[in-house]
Amino acid sequence: MSFKQALCEKILMSVEKPARYLGGELHQVIKDPASVDIRFAFCFPDVYEIGMSHLGMKILYDMFNRRDDVYCERVFSPWPDLHRVMKEQQIPLFALESQDPVSGFDFIGLTLQYEMCYTNILQILDLAQIPLLAADRAEGMPFVIGGGPCAYNPEPVADFFDLFYIGEGEVSYDALFDLYLQAKREGWARREFLIRAASVPGIYVPLLYDVVYKEDGTVQSMLPNTPGVPQKVQKQLVMEFSDSVYPTKPIVPFIKITQDRVVLELMRGCIRGCRFCQAGQIYRPTREKDVEVLKRYADEMLSGTGYDEISLTSLSSSDYSGLEELVTYLIDHYKDKGVNISLPSLRIDAFSLDVMSKVQDIRKSSLTFAPEAGSQRMRDVINKGLTEEDILHGAGLAFAGGWQKVKLYFMLGLPQETDEDMQAIAELANKIAVRYYDIPKDQRNGKCQITISTSFFIPKPFTPFQWARMYDKEEYKRRAKVVNDAVKAQLNRKSLKYNWHETDVSVLEGVFARGDRRIARAIQYAYEDGALFDSWSEFYDHDRWLRAFEKAGIDMEFYTLRERGEDEIFPWDFIDDGVSKEYLLREWKRSKEGKVTPNCRMQCAGCGANQYGGGVCFEGQNQVP
């Protein structure tokens, strides 16, 4: 095959980082498009460096391309400089591997990782030169399918998609592809394929459901409008996790990406049950990968890529039962070969600190704690399962081990939060500094540096806090000021630094997180007004969004400022994510009482995830009848 380039040299030389658009990297898959039956454009609606760091994309790219009849290629959002050129010169959006326009593909798949990328979805469709609205697409156009964590409330972007995949992609895509091959052979119309696809487990087709709203704006009903379409869409999970597909030869980019390293996925899910955390609920039950499999993957990936860093990833790596064995193996085999071992998502305990001291340069590195709330009362409300004694003991061990830099992550705007809870953030940071200065001066590495960061709490679907209210941006600013003033009042304030998140973005993210289908109009208006890369602060323009919502006739405060009633139907209630609404409501009520729920290994909370028949639900004495 002769290779062509979608962009001429003049254009490539005029844009930032042309390697984003060239393809040709080590381990990319090249097939003859004429030899396959299905062409799939896997799109990440953000810049190349972000998308190429995403593990889920790597897994599905590898899985799809293992099929001889499927050719999966990559697409990323063109940066604003190239976006302008493509619009002006009518250059169609193209895939990296073949450089072919994606408008000729069978599927355009978009992974939805973050709500603030929603206008980038429209950028992809617009540059691909296909209609933004699914209802406007004609026969022969690609099917647009969405997935990822934001697909657990697909409604704000439902009008733009033909299908959504709910859950982990390793399970039902083969069935969907086989159905599509049948559709091609038998000449089905577009709508007939969509109706049949709705019967594939995990597939949601928005056009086949009608939403009715009450006078107060809440959802009255959401029901199929076509016979045979299921009322509930069941989340798909990989239960044989050790045997599932994994990319041991990931693509190695030409330019530095955000996560420029080999990634080992230890497990999915989390046993902890923090009430604000969506990932901890939607990925239930917790499933571990066999440690011997991980050792083999590590060897293959390090030798096949040339990377000198390996990251062990999961929602809570300390809870992986084979962590000590795996880390010991990696240190024994790779530490002397100059390979760094990265361990995010660890609890700061003696074992973790011992491991980190072996794999990090302590003088350069900082430790990260995520207490999430400053007071013990608030940590109980959110079910963090962490006491002040745990935090201070961990900090003490860290300081004794030679660390002096600590990063602390908190949330503001949590349910039931008071000014005293906010002030407690600064007080806790000060207590950590005191613990450092208790060490004799001749045993310290100079001053300690404690960086406090607060983000604003966003209530997410399928969490116990999905009923919670938010606040307006002025109130968020006030709360950040309460913390800032409290930091300045601390005895060790010179050792403390405070950063907080943008208030405008948090409010908009909250609208998108729990929004319904009516939100799509505002997203389209904002995009037409120039909104793009809203997750990047230098491009975000809040006034543009205010204009879009006003034009759409939508009151943002309806979605943010009210606490939901216990019997309210949510826009995402048609999804069965394996965790019952009764359990989530029970946890919401327990939060109001400040009651802590033990983690899944200590005691089953009856969330419903045992219906999947595996994982932590069936470990030893924890087994549920």
Contact 194, 205 (CB under 8 A): yes
- Distance from C-alpha of 401 to C-alpha of 397, rounded to nearest angstrom: 6
Dihedral sign of CA atoms 533, 535, 538, 541 in order:
positive
Contact 43, 110 (CB under 8 A): yes
What is the separation of C-alpha 397 from the centre of its chain, rounded to a whole number of angstroms? 32
Contact 381, 587 (CB under 8 A): no
What is the token pair recorded at 419?
């000014």
DSSP for residue 488 = H
DSSP conformation letters of 331-346: HHHHGGGT-EEE--S-
Residue holding tokens 């030893």?
620
DSSP for residue 207 = G
C-alpha distances in angstroms, 583 versus 151, 273, 580, 608? 21, 11, 5, 8
Residues of the chain with pLDDT under 50: 1-2, 621-625
C-alpha distances in angstroms, 105 versus 102, 130, 144, 624? 5, 11, 10, 46
What is the token pair recorded at 484?
């800032």
Run of H or E including 410: strand 405-412
CA angle 119, 125, 131 (to 5 degrees): 115
Would you mind telling me the total number of residues written for the chain in this entry? Answer: 625
Contact 163, 202 (CB under 8 A): no
Strand ranges across the sheet with 496-500:
367-372, 405-412, 449-456, 496-500
Q: What is the pTM of this model?
A: 0.96
pLDDT number for residue 587: 98
What is the token pair recorded at 56?
């889920």
Contact 41, 64 (CB under 8 A): no
Residue holding tokens 């969490």?
463
Run of H or E including 358: helix 350-359
- Distance from C-alpha of 88 to C-alpha of 150, rounded to nearest angstrom: 32
Contact 33, 98 (CB under 8 A): yes
pLDDT number for residue 608: 96
| Alpha helix segments (H runs only) across 129-237 | 173-186, 190-197
Residue holding tokens 């030389």?
13
Dihedral angle of Cα 554, 557, 562, 566, to the nearest 10 degrees: 30
Nearest to 558 by CA among 158, 153, 214, 159: 214
CA angle 173, 174, 179 (to 5 degrees): 95
Q: Classify residue 51 by burial, with Cβ atoms within 10 Å: 0-12, 13-18, 19+.
A: buried
pLDDT number for residue 624: 43
Dihedral sign of CA atoms 74, 79, 82, 84 in order:
positive
Bridge partners of 349, per DSSP, are none
Phi, psi of 132, deg, nearest 5: -65, -35
pLDDT number for residue 625: 40
3-state secondary structure 465-514: HHHCCCCCHHHHHHHHHHHHHHHHCCCCHHHEEEEECCHHHHHHHHHHHC
